[in-house]
Amino acid sequence: MNLHSDCLKNIYARPASSRCAGVMFIVLLSLSLPACTSLTIASLVATTVSNAAEREQATPRLDKSQIAASNISLGVEYMRKAEYERALEKLAAARTAEPRNAMVYSVMGIVRQRMGEFAEAEKLFKQSVKLNRADSDVLSNYGQFLCAQGRIDDAERYFLEAAQNPLYRTPEVPYANAGTCAYKNGRTEQAIEYFQKALQSQPALPNVLLQMAEISFDRGEYLPARDYLTGYLHVASHNEKSLWLGIRIEKELDNKDAVSSYALLLRNRFSGSVEAALLEQSGIR
């Protein structure tokens, strides 16, 4: 009679639920199996422990930073869909995982801003900057909030601090934001300066190129305006704004074929737009 074989038969004759009790079950079972050698029990214990370790290793565990990053990403997606409450739920989960993650508070600030809760939004932006002033994205986000609140000088300071960080890989972003803020508030010369810095860092910025085309047109610089618009079309598709601008540029340059082509595109693709209405009012064909 094989002692080890008989012992194993006795053990596995028990219900599956009992077998799943793990190491403690096997140790207690040894008391009722005097014929089993200690080697058999030790082998079973070792096998159970080994299997448990393998299962634990096979199950990937996210660390707190990964949990926070995942929830921030989900929060941003919900925010883009204007599902603000769900966005805040995900961001709250990110904050629980990493209470000192500056970007969590920054994105929360953007959500509160979009909800019209400006006082709460500013508290969150300030907290994000306090936690990590070296994060240029955090600074730029706060700068955009300040610009939207009409605090242009304060916004400019945050944009420039973000752009001038030597470790920041995309300084064109805060420079572009600074230019847009200045342009919308009538500071055209300042806007040109910041847009040019943004384009020096990254020449293929569609929004910057389109705004520079608008500025050039407004200043009566029609050939540079055309060049900027052409640059825009190398990296983006026409929209109603670019088509209406193209129509006006080419009209000033007396390029009737281009005017007709742009006008046809605007009427066909964006017939219900403000720009299409302006085209009809202008009498341009």
CATH number at residue 247: 1.25.40.10
Identity of residue 104: V
Tokens of 3: 């002692």
Q: Which residues are CB-contacts of 168 (< 8 A; sequence separation ≥ 6)?
A: 136, 162
Asked if residue 253 belongs to a domain, the reply is yes
Asked if residue 235 belongs to a domain, the reply is yes
- Angle (CA) 233-181-120 rounded to 5° is 120
Asked if residue 199 belongs to a domain, the reply is no
pLDDT along the chain (285 residues), means of 10: 39 40 37 41 44 52 89 97 98 97 98 98 98 97 98 98 96 98 97 98 98 98 98 97 98 97 97 96 88
DSSP states along 231-279: HHHHHS---HHHHHHHHHHHHHTT-HHHHHHHHHHHHHH-TTSHHHHHH
Task: Dihedral sign for Cα 72, 73, 79, 85, please.
Answer: negative
Give the span between the Cα atoms of 146 and 106, in whole angstroms.
Answer: 13
Confidence (pTM): 0.76
Task: Provide the number of structural domains found in the chain.
Answer: 1
Asked if residue 192 belongs to a domain, the reply is no
Q: Are 191 and 180 in contact (CB under 8 A)?
A: yes
Asked if residue 176 belongs to a domain, the reply is no
Asked if residue 163 belongs to a domain, the reply is no
Give the span between the Cα atoms of 182 and 188, in whole angstroms.
Answer: 7
Tokens of 186: 């009538």
Asked if residue 265 belongs to a domain, the reply is yes
**Residue range of the domain that includes 222:** 205-285
DSSP states along 74-102: HHHHHHHTT-HHHHHHHHHHHHHH-TT-H
What pLDDT, on the 0 to 100 scale, is given for residue 39? 39
Asked if residue 30 belongs to a domain, the reply is no
